[in-house]
Amino acid sequence: MNIVVVVVIVVVLDIVVVMIVVLVLVVVFVMVVVIVVVMLVVVVVVVIVLVVVFVMVVVVVVVVVFKAYQFFFQVMESLLQAHPTVISIREHCAKLLGHEATRVFHDRLVNEADRKFFFKVLSDELHNGFRVRWSQDQLQHEPFVFGDFLDTSSPHSTRVYRFTRSYDRLPKVLEVCFIYV
Protein backbone atom coordinates (compact mmCIF):
# COMPACT_ATOMS: atom_id res chain seq x y z
CA MET A 1 0.00 0.00 0.00
CA ASN A 2 0.93 3.38 -0.59
CA ILE A 3 2.08 5.52 2.30
CA VAL A 4 -0.34 8.29 1.43
CA VAL A 5 -3.28 5.95 1.71
CA VAL A 6 -2.02 4.72 5.07
CA VAL A 7 -1.61 8.29 6.33
CA VAL A 8 -5.09 9.20 5.11
CA ILE A 9 -6.54 6.13 6.83
CA VAL A 10 -4.71 6.97 10.08
CA VAL A 11 -5.83 10.60 9.91
CA VAL A 12 -9.43 9.56 9.20
CA LEU A 13 -9.29 7.05 12.08
CA ASP A 14 -7.86 9.73 14.36
CA ILE A 15 -10.65 12.09 13.36
CA VAL A 16 -13.27 9.39 13.96
CA VAL A 17 -11.76 8.56 17.37
CA VAL A 18 -11.66 12.26 18.32
CA MET A 19 -15.26 12.67 17.17
CA ILE A 20 -16.34 9.64 19.22
CA VAL A 21 -14.50 10.97 22.28
CA VAL A 22 -16.05 14.41 21.80
CA LEU A 23 -19.48 12.82 21.33
CA VAL A 24 -19.04 10.75 24.50
CA LEU A 25 -17.91 13.85 26.38
CA VAL A 26 -20.91 15.82 25.11
CA VAL A 27 -23.29 12.99 26.11
CA VAL A 28 -21.67 12.76 29.56
CA PHE A 29 -21.87 16.55 29.95
CA VAL A 30 -25.52 16.58 28.89
CA MET A 31 -26.28 13.75 31.32
CA VAL A 32 -24.54 15.60 34.16
CA VAL A 33 -26.46 18.77 33.32
CA VAL A 34 -29.75 16.83 33.19
CA ILE A 35 -28.97 15.16 36.53
CA VAL A 36 -28.10 18.51 38.12
CA VAL A 37 -31.25 20.11 36.74
CA VAL A 38 -33.39 17.20 37.94
CA MET A 39 -31.76 17.41 41.38
CA LEU A 40 -32.40 21.15 41.49
CA VAL A 41 -36.03 20.61 40.50
CA VAL A 42 -36.38 17.93 43.19
CA VAL A 43 -34.84 20.26 45.79
CA VAL A 44 -37.14 23.10 44.75
CA VAL A 45 -40.18 20.80 44.88
CA VAL A 46 -39.14 19.49 48.31
CA VAL A 47 -38.67 23.06 49.58
CA ILE A 48 -42.07 24.07 48.20
CA VAL A 49 -43.71 21.02 49.80
CA LEU A 50 -42.01 21.79 53.13
CA VAL A 51 -43.14 25.42 52.99
CA VAL A 52 -46.71 24.35 52.17
CA VAL A 53 -46.70 21.81 55.01
CA PHE A 54 -45.31 24.42 57.41
CA VAL A 55 -47.99 26.92 56.40
CA MET A 56 -50.69 24.28 56.80
CA VAL A 57 -49.39 23.37 60.28
CA VAL A 58 -49.34 27.03 61.28
CA VAL A 59 -52.90 27.48 60.02
CA VAL A 60 -54.10 24.38 61.91
CA VAL A 61 -52.36 25.54 65.11
CA VAL A 62 -53.90 29.01 64.80
CA VAL A 63 -57.35 27.52 64.21
CA VAL A 64 -57.01 25.12 67.15
CA VAL A 65 -55.75 27.86 69.46
CA PHE A 66 -58.49 30.21 68.31
CA LYS A 67 -61.12 27.52 68.86
CA ALA A 68 -59.74 26.76 72.33
CA TYR A 69 -59.89 30.45 73.23
CA GLN A 70 -63.39 30.63 71.80
CA PHE A 71 -64.51 27.80 74.11
CA PHE A 72 -62.74 29.39 77.06
CA PHE A 73 -64.45 32.71 76.41
CA GLN A 74 -67.84 30.99 76.13
CA VAL A 75 -67.34 29.71 79.67
CA MET A 76 -66.14 33.12 80.87
CA GLU A 77 -69.07 34.89 79.23
CA SER A 78 -71.54 32.62 81.01
CA LEU A 79 -69.80 33.15 84.34
CA LEU A 80 -69.82 36.93 83.90
CA GLN A 81 -73.54 36.94 83.12
CA ALA A 82 -74.42 35.12 86.32
CA HIS A 83 -76.79 36.84 88.70
CA PRO A 84 -75.13 37.92 91.99
CA THR A 85 -77.48 35.72 94.00
CA VAL A 86 -76.24 32.68 92.10
CA ILE A 87 -72.61 33.14 93.11
CA SER A 88 -73.08 34.31 96.69
CA ILE A 89 -70.67 31.69 98.08
CA ARG A 90 -67.57 29.94 96.78
CA GLU A 91 -69.37 26.60 96.35
CA HIS A 92 -72.02 28.15 94.08
CA CYS A 93 -69.36 29.75 91.90
CA ALA A 94 -67.56 26.39 91.67
CA LYS A 95 -70.82 24.69 90.67
CA LEU A 96 -71.50 27.30 88.01
CA LEU A 97 -67.98 26.93 86.63
CA GLY A 98 -68.36 23.14 86.66
CA HIS A 99 -71.69 23.38 84.85
CA GLU A 100 -70.41 25.81 82.20
CA ALA A 101 -67.17 23.88 81.61
CA THR A 102 -69.20 20.69 81.25
CA ARG A 103 -71.65 22.38 78.89
CA VAL A 104 -68.92 23.86 76.67
CA PHE A 105 -66.13 21.28 76.78
CA HIS A 106 -67.52 17.93 77.93
CA ASP A 107 -70.45 17.97 75.51
CA ARG A 108 -67.97 17.98 72.60
CA LEU A 109 -66.03 14.91 73.75
CA VAL A 110 -66.66 11.74 71.77
CA ASN A 111 -65.15 8.89 73.77
CA GLU A 112 -65.40 7.68 77.35
CA ALA A 113 -61.67 8.01 78.10
CA ASP A 114 -61.74 11.72 77.24
CA ARG A 115 -64.88 12.23 79.33
CA LYS A 116 -63.31 10.58 82.37
CA PHE A 117 -60.16 12.63 81.89
CA PHE A 118 -62.28 15.80 81.66
CA PHE A 119 -63.98 15.06 84.99
CA LYS A 120 -60.63 14.27 86.62
CA VAL A 121 -59.18 17.60 85.47
CA LEU A 122 -62.39 19.42 86.49
CA SER A 123 -62.30 17.81 89.94
CA ASP A 124 -58.64 18.74 90.43
CA GLU A 125 -59.08 22.31 89.20
CA LEU A 126 -62.23 22.97 91.24
CA HIS A 127 -60.31 21.79 94.30
CA ASN A 128 -57.26 23.92 93.43
CA GLY A 129 -59.26 27.05 92.64
CA PHE A 130 -62.19 26.87 95.05
CA ARG A 131 -61.05 24.38 97.71
CA VAL A 132 -64.10 22.20 97.15
CA ARG A 133 -63.90 18.43 97.19
CA TRP A 134 -65.99 16.78 94.51
CA SER A 135 -64.67 13.52 93.19
CA GLN A 136 -64.43 12.69 89.52
CA ASP A 137 -67.29 10.21 89.96
CA GLN A 138 -69.50 12.75 91.76
CA LEU A 139 -69.01 15.28 88.97
CA GLN A 140 -69.72 12.66 86.34
CA HIS A 141 -72.81 11.08 87.92
CA GLU A 142 -74.32 14.01 89.85
CA PRO A 143 -74.04 16.90 87.39
CA PHE A 144 -74.66 20.51 88.29
CA VAL A 145 -77.63 21.78 86.32
CA PHE A 146 -78.25 25.48 85.93
CA GLY A 147 -81.12 27.04 84.07
CA ASP A 148 -83.74 29.73 84.04
CA PHE A 149 -86.40 27.56 82.45
CA LEU A 150 -87.76 25.97 85.64
CA ASP A 151 -89.41 29.22 86.70
CA THR A 152 -92.16 29.11 84.07
CA SER A 153 -94.44 31.53 85.94
CA SER A 154 -92.05 34.52 85.60
CA PRO A 155 -91.48 36.47 82.40
CA HIS A 156 -88.31 35.42 80.59
CA SER A 157 -86.58 38.76 81.19
CA THR A 158 -86.81 38.41 84.98
CA ARG A 159 -85.77 34.79 85.26
CA VAL A 160 -82.47 34.03 86.99
CA TYR A 161 -80.05 31.42 85.69
CA ARG A 162 -79.54 29.36 88.84
CA PHE A 163 -78.60 25.97 90.18
CA THR A 164 -81.43 23.47 90.36
CA ARG A 165 -81.85 20.34 92.40
CA SER A 166 -85.27 19.60 90.89
CA TYR A 167 -84.08 16.81 88.64
CA ASP A 168 -87.53 15.21 88.74
CA ARG A 169 -89.11 18.38 87.25
CA LEU A 170 -86.61 18.70 84.40
CA PRO A 171 -88.17 16.23 81.93
CA LYS A 172 -91.64 17.70 82.40
CA VAL A 173 -90.50 21.33 82.04
CA LEU A 174 -88.31 20.53 79.05
CA GLU A 175 -91.17 18.68 77.39
CA VAL A 176 -93.42 21.74 77.84
CA CYS A 177 -90.64 24.01 76.53
CA PHE A 178 -90.25 21.90 73.38
CA ILE A 179 -93.98 21.88 72.76
CA TYR A 180 -94.04 25.70 72.62
CA VAL A 181 -90.97 25.98 70.41
Averaged pLDDT for residues 33-38: 96
- Mention every residue, 6+ apart, whose C-beta is less than 8 A from residue 84: none
- Mention every residue, 6+ apart, whose C-beta is less than 8 A from residue 95: 144, 146, 163
Task: Please give the torsion angle defined by the CA atoms of residues 103, 128, 81 and 150, in that order, rounded to the nearest 10 degrees.
Answer: 50
Give, as one character, the DSSP assignment of residue 150: S
Which element (helix H / strand E) includes 138?
helix 136-141
Task: Check whether 176 has a pLDDT greater than 80.
Answer: no
What one-letter code names the amino acid at 81?
Q
The reported pLDDT for the residue numbered 33 is: 96
Is the pTM higher than 0.85? The answer reads: no
The reported pLDDT for the residue numbered 124 is: 94
Structural contact between residues 159 and 148, judged by C-beta atoms closer than 8 angstroms = yes
Secondary structure class of 113 (helix, strand, coil): helix
Task: Check whether 150 has a pLDDT greater than 90.
Answer: no
Confidence of residue 36 (pLDDT cuts 50, 70, 90): very high
Structural contact between residues 92 and 86, judged by C-beta atoms closer than 8 angstroms = yes
Q: pLDDT digit string (tens) for 37-84?
A: 999 999 999 999 999 999 999 999 988 888 878 888 888 888 888 888
